[in-house]
Structure 1
Amino acid sequence: MKLAKRLILTTTALAAVTAGTLLSATVGQATPSQPARTGVEIPAALKVPDGNRLSGVFSAEGVQTYTCTDGAWKLLEPAATLSAKNDRSQRPVALHSRGPVWVSTVDGSAVTAAAVATSPKTGTIPELLLKSTATRGTGAFADVSYIQRLNTRGGVAPTTACTGTDQVSVPYSATYTFYKPAN
């Protein structure tokens, strides 16, 4: 029952943030020497190691879903739609969900990653450096080595008390930058 409820919530959250023509979108590619267009200085802890090149910059809009666990709000999952940062139409090109995983809606490629560094920000979820743990396919997310979550806004867990199996989805936005090995 809990799994079915979680699946329904995940599907509902993804559907809510995935309006648009997903399959007709194209993935914007960044050039290897192009800096991430984030508008802020990247904290030293979140810098991608040498030997990697920028392969994509995407804007994300979605939710961070929290569940009540032992009387405290705990992150259950993100659900976000990514759009090519350099595409003026902001057409969706990928989905981000629990894992965390990013899946291209254009070519089906995917990347799963784990956080290796964090940089807290006041009033918003922290910025992150994530390292790829697995990739699938031959498209945009094939061979991704690192991901940065930058320019975060919102998504913070409620400060109010919770009881039982309460869940809440909090809107957030971020910029995700993807890197591949330079070789």
Structure 2
Amino acid sequence: MRSTNTKFRTLGSSLIGTTLMVGGTALMMAACSNVAPLPKEFSQDTLPMSIGVPSGHKVVLETTATGVLNYECRATPAGPFAWTLVSPQANLLDRTGKDVVAYSGPPAKWTHIDGSSVVGNQIAVATNGEFNLPLQLARAEPSMGTGALQNVSFIQRIKTKGGVEKTKPCGTANGGEKVTLPYQADYIFWRPV
């Protein structure tokens, strides 16, 4: 009789535990269904309209860049001297952390590890703080090679940090001087739907 009671108690405890677990899971799922999903990194909702990608396009690649920008103090066509971008150098990692694209220029060129590449021409910018590169929208020229960057139509530069020289003067006294600045940014690649 004792062994039968022990079996029923064990079975009863197991049944109650399972019921509580299933019920608790159902309550948690119901509670979570009312929580809005996290926004995707490439959401246009939080970006200035000036750098928004026109409708009819979809994201094909999201990357995060860490690199440097090489500047030279030069006279501008309007006359005054200014820090002028000579070349960017950055490695772009996809959302899994894999190094997938090299960024170089000028002109601005992104080359994927699969051999495909794209050149972009800036069409819009939006300020992002005094010492950060502006946010940017570039229109892609027809891509070279087949692969991940094939048929890319736009490249967005968002979430910029650093990359702007504001502390060192640039004028006739130091014309030709060079400076290298670190920067970070996300580059989002788009193609037509």
State the TM bucket, normalised to the shorter chain.
0.7 to 0.9
Give 1:134 deviation, angstroms: 2.9
- Specify whether residues 171 and 152 from structure 1 end up closer, same or farther in structure 2 by C-alpha distance, changes over 3 A only: same
The residue number in structure 1 matching 2:126 is: 119
Pick one of 146, 159, 181 that aligns with 1:151: 159
1:59 partner amino acid: T
Is residue 2:47 matched to residue 1:37? no
Q: After superposition, what is the alpha-carbon deviation per residue over 1:6-53, rounded to whole angstroms, capped at 9, x for unaligned?
A: xxxxxxxxxxxxxxxxxxxxxxxxxxxxx7515881111111111111
The residue number in structure 2 matching 1:58 is: 63
Aligned residues: 144
Following the alignment from structure 1 to structure 2, what is the Cα–Cα distance between the partners of residues 157 and 134?
32
Q: Which has the larger radius of gyration?
A: 2
Following the alignment from structure 2 to structure 1, what is the Cα–Cα distance between the partners of residues 151 and 82?
37
Percent identity over the alignment is 34
TM, length-normalised to structure 1? 0.74
Following the alignment from structure 1 to structure 2, what is the Cα–Cα distance between the partners of residues 115 and 159?
26
Is residue 2:170 matched to residue 1:165? no
Specify which structure has the higher proportion of strand. Answer: 1
The residue number in structure 2 matching 1:132 is: 140
- Specify whether residues 173 and 56 from structure 1 end up closer, same or farther in structure 2 by C-alpha distance, changes over 3 A only: same
The residue number in structure 2 matching 1:177 is: 188
Instruction: Indicate conservation of the 8 Å contact 2:68/2:89, yes or no.
Output: yes
Specify which structure has the higher proportion of helix. Answer: 2
Instruction: Indicate conservation of the 8 Å contact 2:42/2:188, yes or no.
Output: no
TM, length-normalised to structure 2? 0.70
**What do you get for the CA RMSD once the two structures are aligned?**
1.7
Pick one of 94, 98, 102 that aligns with 1:95: 102
Q: Match of 2:141, SS?
A: strand
Runs of 4+ in 1 over 4 A off after TM superposition: none
Give 1:78 deviation, angstroms: 1.1
Deviates more, 1:49-58 or 1:160-169: 160-169
Following the alignment from structure 2 to structure 1, what is the Cα–Cα distance between the partners of residues 66 and 181?
11
Following the alignment from structure 2 to structure 1, what is the Cα–Cα distance between the partners of residues 166 and 70?
10
Unpaired runs of 5+ residues, structure 2, are 1-38, 76-80
Unpaired runs of 5+ residues, structure 1, are 1-34
The residue number in structure 1 matching 2:14 is: none
